[in-house]
């Protein structure tokens, strides 16, 4: 069909050069020298003014990391990373801990303005109630500002950078840090434990429903740096919080490493909703540059009837290696994973989830939509398992892949492990291209090819988009559009 | 390297190496065949048996599961049994030794031992991949089997039964089978044990289907409760060739059944139907890979598993679609009835797709018997155990019924019902 061919050609033309967050900002930076050693870790810890136990924790992780080998099982190819060629700490110089937004370097504020992220707390104007989002902005290695802190404090919610939390709430950090993703977990998580520089900390106390959406924007700006953030979210009994993160980076020829760890803890009847719009620089059309995104995200449904829901829209990064997981420990707990992974150009995505059913009457749901275009490789890798004692575990998994063009690849690798006769697992996966029938139906009704494909792709991902908070849903839809520009209007 | 040499050999690994030293003098073939055997054994010695760290063996840690290897027992006695379907031509392998009495009319045949002695078999004795433990063990020790050629245009009216009867010790057989263009045949590969002695059986069948050949190949594995059974079927489908492969596992302690195929001619069609009846302490693994290498080929796999007692079941299925293999239509389903809390089942259905104009899908379910179905039957006065048996029977019967041959369906149904009666 000519129209389809045209679309394929158009997709072939698009490069990932459509990336609109590729600008670089010149800000005076305070950097650690390149390389990784115990001294660098001491340097980071000292910069952060950390207590002794934290330094020991880091050093312990570092020593363990030295004994580990880089994992190679994922379906991604990249040249060997020189872990000694990275600055493990880079912070904007002007801010030795800004106390208010006015202390923040105006250049930096401009960055966030360009990104369309409001760092100034919006006022509620008479009669016009805008949805308010509290933002924590992380620039390279440090958190520059956190908004709405005071208002959140009134509700009892703690929302601050993890460095501040280590100083101000050491008892909470000590109690929960590393309990979901232990320092021994995997190569990148162990590395992160040794060198993490910042990230967000959220604590929602018993019975509190967080009054607004919380969000963190991560930006890698400085050359030759790696970003290693650590996020810890705790929802006590009956608490609720919705958290979202966004990520961008400048356009560069070099590959930069991003190895984050996110830990979620949900106690009895608590609910955590974690959404990600990941839009790191994906590299150019030749596959040069881009972020290596090696992330460990895990939620622990520790209490009964707790719930953790992961929603992700992955459009960026040269390489994505990411499996947001749920440990369903509490009886009656529930885990959800909704994902849209779009790969174009030379991008490689190996992403999915793990649902580990340990408690009784636990349930999980996985909906994964992969869209591959260009010469990209898009893999879903997931695991669903039940413990022998986990009675009445339920899982539903659906992973669909859409291929645009004949040079890309879509792969599905699910691991399904049932250890209890009362388990009920359903898994289905499909791979296809945009149906010519559907396209024909639209064309026949006078909808141009571009719009028709947009319509079909939007329909394909709708189930996941619906799970995003409203403000993000619009952004995500736009992002998918940009990522596939040429085929989607 | 250092790490690998540091591995201490398990009892089974030592037994295999010792068996090789003891048996090599009397195994058929020299020259190229002997060097091929030596090379395979050297690999086995160097790498050991695969562990779960080897992705293809993720759920079947052969190193841990294969506890002992019974020595070859030249005095063991086994006898040919009546064929499954009356009127079949029977080719039997008794304790690893081919019994060539009658060559059925219309096919060319010789024992595999002859091919080994002659040396042409040397080309077969290779590893498919670095993780091909079955090819490695079988290739090192292979003693006999049959080399079969069904000539172009031949239509076999009666089934051909390859009967492997094992009473003790170990046996390693091979079946290179070529089906000429436009040939039609039904082959039954049947594995039986007599007596209670534990044995190790490995078997590799290499099937080549020329253009437009239409073949039904049935594997019925009913070995003893203490036997280890390592089997591999490799196939290559030419243009418009059709292979229907039925596999029924209803025995064995440690079973690994591998199926590896490629479609190399357009219009080829592959159908796999599997029934795994797992009870007692069995560990049964069905691992399947299929490469759609050319455009316009189709495949469908349906696997039904029923688990009782402390049985462990594994299904791994991988469908690969090559970059130019447009218009591939591939579907795979794996449905499991887990009827005991001590049983467990793991599935890994994989899709690896490099072409865009394809329809590929897979589904996997694990459930217990549907209580509403049970209620329906009980409300009609059927006792619970009988109602359960009916439902389990219906679950697997669907597969058997696709065979079309009335006599064959009935025979297999009898075997399945008898098995279920014994285990339910």
Query: Which pTM value belongs to this model?
Result: 0.87
CB contact under 8 A, B356 and A418: no
Of B324, B362, B366, the CB nearest to A425: B366
Give the pLDDT confidence of A422-438 residue by residue, as tens digits.
899 999 988 888 888 88
| DSSP per-residue codes, A173-201 | HHHHTTSSS-TTS-HHHHHHHHH--B-EE
The predicted complex's ipTM stands at 0.83
Give the pLDDT confidence of A58-76 residue by residue, as tens digits.
999 999 999 998 888 888 8
By C-alpha distance, the chain B residue nearest A413 is B350
By C-alpha distance, the chain A residue nearest B318 is A413
CB pairs A-B closer than 8 Å = 117
- Does B5 have pLDDT greater than 50? no
- Does A144 have pLDDT greater than 80? no
Nearest Cα of chain A lies from the Cα of B200 at a distance, in angstroms, of: 28
A86-121 as b/e, with b when 16 or more CB fall inside 10 Å? bbbbbbbebbeebeeeeebbeebbebbeebebebee
In DSSP terms, B161 is beta-bridged to B90, B188
Considering only CB atoms, which chain B residues are within 8 Å of A431?
Answer: 351, 353, 358-361
Nearest Cα of chain A lies from the Cα of B407 at a distance, in angstroms, of: 35
- Does A156 have pLDDT greater than 80? yes
Dihedral through CA A282, CA A284, CA A286, CA A289, nearest 10?
A: -60
Q: What is the pLDDT of residue B374?
A: 92
Nearest Cα of chain A lies from the Cα of B168 at a distance, in angstroms, of: 33
CA–CA–CA angle A362, A366, A369 (5° rounding): 175
User: What does the alpha-carbon distance between residue A98 and residue A104 come to, in Å, rounded to a whole number?
Assistant: 6
pLDDT band at A108 (very low <50, low <70, confident <90, very high): low
**Percentage above 90 pLDDT, chain B:** 75
Q: Does residue B153 sit at the A interface (CB-CB below 8 Å)?
A: no
- Average pLDDT (A11-19) is 52
Residue B5 has a CB neighbour count (10 Å cut-off) of 7
CB contact under 8 A, B356 and A433: yes
Instruction: Tell which wins on pLDDT, A193 or A27.
Output: A193
Nearest Cα of chain B lies from the Cα of A384 at a distance, in angstroms, of: 10
Q: Which two tokens stand for residue B393?
A: 């029977």
- Does B271 have pLDDT greater than 50? yes
CB contact under 8 A, B357 and A433: yes
Of A411, A417, A422, the CB nearest to B351: A411
Instruction: Tell which wins on pLDDT, A196 or A121.
Output: A196
- Does A225 have pLDDT greater than 70? yes
Considering only CB atoms, which chain B residues are within 8 Å of A487?
Answer: none
Q: What is the pLDDT of residue B2?
A: 42
Give the pLDDT confidence of A352-392 residue by residue, as tens digits.
999 999 999 999 999 999 988 888 899 999 999 999 889 99
Nearest Cα of chain A lies from the Cα of B312 at a distance, in angstroms, of: 9
Considering only CB atoms, which chain B residues are within 8 Å of A5?
Answer: none
Q: Does residue B370 sit at the A interface (CB-CB below 8 Å)?
A: no
- Does A132 have pLDDT greater than 70? no
CB contact under 8 A, B341 and A416: no
Instruction: Note whether A91 and A105 are within 8 A (CB).
Output: no
Plot region of B153 (φ>0 → left; ψ -120 to 50 → alpha; else → beta) = left
- Does A173 have pLDDT greater than 90? yes
Give the pLDDT confidence of B357-369 residue by residue, as tens digits.
888 999 999 988 8
Chain B stretch 58-117, residues whose beta carbon is closer than 8 A to a beta carbon of chain A:
58
Q: What is the pLDDT of residue A20?
A: 66
Nearest Cα of chain A lies from the Cα of B218 at a distance, in angstroms, of: 27
CB contact under 8 A, B366 and A423: yes
Chain B stretch 48-67, residues whose beta carbon is closer than 8 A to a beta carbon of chain A:
55, 58
| DSSP per-residue codes, B64-99 | HH----PPP-TT--------SSTT-EEEEEETTEEE
Task: Choose among A39, A252, A262: nearest CA to A138.
Answer: A262
Considering only CB atoms, which chain B residues are within 8 Å of A425?
Answer: 364-367
Q: What is the pLDDT of residue A373?
A: 85
pLDDT band at A114 (very low <50, low <70, confident <90, very high): low
Quick one: CA dihedral B360, B366, B372, B375, positive or negative?
positive
Q: Which two tokens stand for residue B67?
A: 């506890």
User: What does the alpha-carbon distance between residue B347 and residue B341 come to, in Å, rounded to a whole number?
Assistant: 17
Of B58, B338, B363, the CB nearest to A423: B338
- What is the enclosing helix (H) or strand (E) of B255? strand B254-263
Report for A340-344, B298-302, B399-403: range of highest mean pLDDT: B298-302
Q: What is the pLDDT of residue A102?
A: 62
In DSSP terms, B271 is beta-bridged to B244, B300
Instruction: Note whether A372 and A410 are within 8 A (CB).
Output: yes
Nearest Cα of chain B lies from the Cα of A388 at a distance, in angstroms, of: 7
CB contact under 8 A, A429 and B362: yes
Considering only CB atoms, which chain B residues are within 8 Å of A414?
Answer: 347-350, 364
Considering only CB atoms, which chain A residues are within 8 Å of B344?
Answer: 388, 417-419
Residue of B55, B305, B364 to mutate when probing chain A, most A C-beta within 10 A: B364
CB contact under 8 A, B350 and A406: no
Considering only CB atoms, which chain B residues are within 8 Å of A433?
Answer: 356-358
- Does A178 have pLDDT greater than 50? yes
**Percentage above 70 pLDDT, chain B:** 98
Of B348, B358, B368, the CB nearest to A421: B368
Q: SS3 for A78?
A: coil
Give the pLDDT confidence of A231-270 residue by residue, as tens digits.
999 999 999 999 988 877 777 777 888 899 999 999 999 9
Give the pLDDT confidence of B20-34 residue by residue, as tens digits.
999 998 999 889 999
Q: What is the pLDDT of residue B42?
A: 93
Give the pLDDT confidence of B132-167 residue by residue, as tens digits.
999 999 999 999 999 999 999 999 999 999 999 999
Give the pLDDT confidence of B65-104 residue by residue, as tens digits.
998 899 888 888 888 889 999 889 999 999 999 987 777 8
* A2 class by beta-carbon count within 10 Å (0-12 exposed, 13-18 middle, 19+ buried): exposed
Nearest Cα of chain A lies from the Cα of B54 at a distance, in angstroms, of: 10
Give the pLDDT confidence of B199-250 residue by residue, as tens digits.
999 999 999 999 999 999 999 999 999 999 999 999 999 999 999 999 999 9
Residue of B306, B351, B357 to mutate when probing chain A, most A C-beta within 10 A: B351
Considering only CB atoms, which chain B residues are within 8 Å of A415?
Answer: 58, 346-348
Of B343, B353, B366, the CB nearest to A416: B366
Considering only CB atoms, which chain A residues are within 8 Å of B314?
Answer: none
- Does B399 have pLDDT greater than 70? yes
Which residues are CB-neighbours of B218 under 8 A, at least 6 positions away?
B186, B187, B188, B189, B245, B246, B247, B248, B403, B408
CB contact under 8 A, B339 and A421: yes
- Does B421 have pLDDT greater than 80? yes
Considering only CB atoms, which chain B residues are within 8 Å of A428?
Answer: 361-364
Q: What is the pLDDT of residue A88?
A: 86
Query: Which residues of A have a CB under 8 Å from any CB of B?
Result: 73, 388, 401, 403-433
Task: Choose among B284, B181, B280, B200: nearest CA to B12.
Answer: B200
By C-alpha distance, the chain A residue nearest B361 is A430
CB contact under 8 A, B367 and A424: yes
Q: Does residue B348 sit at the A interface (CB-CB below 8 Å)?
A: yes
Instruction: Tell which wins on pLDDT, A91 or A2.
Output: A91
Q: What is the pLDDT of residue B4?
A: 47
Q: What average pLDDT does chain A have?
A: 83
User: What does the alpha-carbon distance between residue B88 and residue B407 come to, in Å, rounded to a whole number?
Assistant: 12
Q: Does residue B158 sit at the A interface (CB-CB below 8 Å)?
A: no
Q: Does residue B351 sit at the A interface (CB-CB below 8 Å)?
A: yes
């Amino acid at each position: 069909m000519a129209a389809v061919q045209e679309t394929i050609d158009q997709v072939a033309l698009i490069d990932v050069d459509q990336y609109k967050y590729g600008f670089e900002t010149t800000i005076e930076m305070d950097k650690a020298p390149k390389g990784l050693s115990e001294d660098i870790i001491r340097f980071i810890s000292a910069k952060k003014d950390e207590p002794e136990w934290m330094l020991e924790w880091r050093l312990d992780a570092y020593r363990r990391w030295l004994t580990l080998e880089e994992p190679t099982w994922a379906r991604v190819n990249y040249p060997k990373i020189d872990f000694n060629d990275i600055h493990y700490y880079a912070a904007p110089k002007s801010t030795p801990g800004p106390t208010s937004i006015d202390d923040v370097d105006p250049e930096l504020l401009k960055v966030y303005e360009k990104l369309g992220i409001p760092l100034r707390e919006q006022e509620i104007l008479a009669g016009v109630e805008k949805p308010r989002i509290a933002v924590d902005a992380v620039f390279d290695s440090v958190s520059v500002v956190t908004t709405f802190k005071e208002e959140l404090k009134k509700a009892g919610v703690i929302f601050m950078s993890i460095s501040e939390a280590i100083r101000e709430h050491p008892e909470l950090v000590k109690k929960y840090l590393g309990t979901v993703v232990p320092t021994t977990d995997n190569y990148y998580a162990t590395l992160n434990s040794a060198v993490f520089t910042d990230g967000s900390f959220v604590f929602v106390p018993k019975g509190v429903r967080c009054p607004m959406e919380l969000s963190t924007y991560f930006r890698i700006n400085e050359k030759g740096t790696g970003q290693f953030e650590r996020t810890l979210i705790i929802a006590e009994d009956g608490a609720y919080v919705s958290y979202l993160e966004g990520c961008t980076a400048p356009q560069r020829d070099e590959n930069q490493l991003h190895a984050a760890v996110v830990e979620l803890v949900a106690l009895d009847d608590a609910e955590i909703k974690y959404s990600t719009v990941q839009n790191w620089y994906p590299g150019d059309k030749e596959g040069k540059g881009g972020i290596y995104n090696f992330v460990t995200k895990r939620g622990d449904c520790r209490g009964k009837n707790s719930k953790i829901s992961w929603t992700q829209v992955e459009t960026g990064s040269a390489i994505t290696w990411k499996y947001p997981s749920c440990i369903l420990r509490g009886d009656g707990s529930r885990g959800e994973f909704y994902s849209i992974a779009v790969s174009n150009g030379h991008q490689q995505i190996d992403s999915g989830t793990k649902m580990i059913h340990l408690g009784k009457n636990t349930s999980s749901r996985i909906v994964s939509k992969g869209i591959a275009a260009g010469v990209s490789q898009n893999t879903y890798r997931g695991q669903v398992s039940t413990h022998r004692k986990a009675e009445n575990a339920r899982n539903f998994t659906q992973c669909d892949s859409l291929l645009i063009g004949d040079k890309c690849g879509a792969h599905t690798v699910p691991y399904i492990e049932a250890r209890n006769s009362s388990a009920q697992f359903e898994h289905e996966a499909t791979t296809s291209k945009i149906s010519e029938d559907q396209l024909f139906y639209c064309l026949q009704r006078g909808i141009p090819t571009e719009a028709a494909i947009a319509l079909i792709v939007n329909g394909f991902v709708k189930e996941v988009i619906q799970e995003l908070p409203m403000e993000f849903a619009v952004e995500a839809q736009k992002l998918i559009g940009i990522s596939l520009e040429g085929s989607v209007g | 390297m250092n790490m690998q040499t540091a591995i201490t050999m398990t009892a089974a690994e030592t037994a295999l190496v010792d068996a090789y030293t003891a048996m090599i003098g009397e195994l058929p073939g020299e020259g190229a065949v002997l060097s091929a055997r030596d090379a395979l054994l050297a690999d086995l010695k160097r790498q050991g048996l695969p562990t779960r760290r080897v992705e293809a063996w993720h759920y079947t840690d052969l190193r841990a599961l294969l506890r002992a290897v019974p020595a070859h027992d030249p005095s063991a006695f086994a006898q040919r049994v009546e064929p499954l379907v009356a009127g079949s031509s029977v080719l039997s392998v008794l304790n690893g030794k081919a019994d060539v009495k009658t060559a059925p009319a219309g096919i060319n045949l010789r024992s595999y031992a002859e091919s080994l002695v002659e040396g042409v078999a040397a080309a077969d004795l290779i590893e498919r991949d670095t993780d091909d433990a079955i090819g490695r063990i079988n290739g090192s020790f292979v003693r006999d089997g049959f080399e079969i050629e069904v000539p172009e245009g031949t239509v076999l009216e009666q089934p051909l039964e390859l009967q492997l009867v094992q009473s003790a010790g170990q046996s390693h057989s091979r079946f290179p089978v070529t089906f000429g263009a436009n040939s039609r045949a039904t082959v039954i590969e049947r594995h039986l044990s007599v007596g209670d002695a534990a044995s190790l059986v490995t078997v590799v069948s290499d099937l080549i289907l020329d253009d437009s050949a239409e073949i039904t190949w049935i594997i019925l594995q009913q070995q003893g409760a203490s036997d280890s059974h390592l089997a591999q079927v490799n196939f290559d489908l030419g243009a418009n060739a059709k292979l229907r492969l039925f596999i029924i596992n209803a025995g064995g302690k440690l079973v690994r059944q591998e199926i590896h195929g490629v479609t190399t001619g357009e219009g080829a069609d592959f159908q796999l139907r599997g029934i795994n009846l797992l009870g007692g302490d069995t560990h049964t693994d069905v691992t399947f890979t299929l490469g759609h290498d050319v455009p316009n080929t189709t495949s469908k796999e349906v696997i039904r598993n029923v688990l009782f007692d402390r049985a462990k079941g594994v299904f791994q299925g991988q469908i690969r679609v090559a970059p130019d293999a447009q218009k591939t239509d591939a579907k795979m389903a794996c449905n499991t009835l887990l009827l005991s809390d001590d049983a467990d089942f793991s599935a890994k259905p994989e899709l690896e797709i490099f072409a865009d104009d394809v329809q590929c899908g897979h589904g996997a379910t694990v459930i217990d018997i549907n209580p509403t179905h049970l209620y329906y039957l009980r409300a009609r006065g059927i006792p619970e155990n009988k109602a359960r048996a009916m439902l389990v029977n219906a679950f697997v019967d669907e597969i058997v019924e696709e065979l079309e041959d009335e006599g064959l369906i009935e025979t297999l149904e009898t075997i399945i019902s008898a098995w279920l009666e014994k285990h339910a």
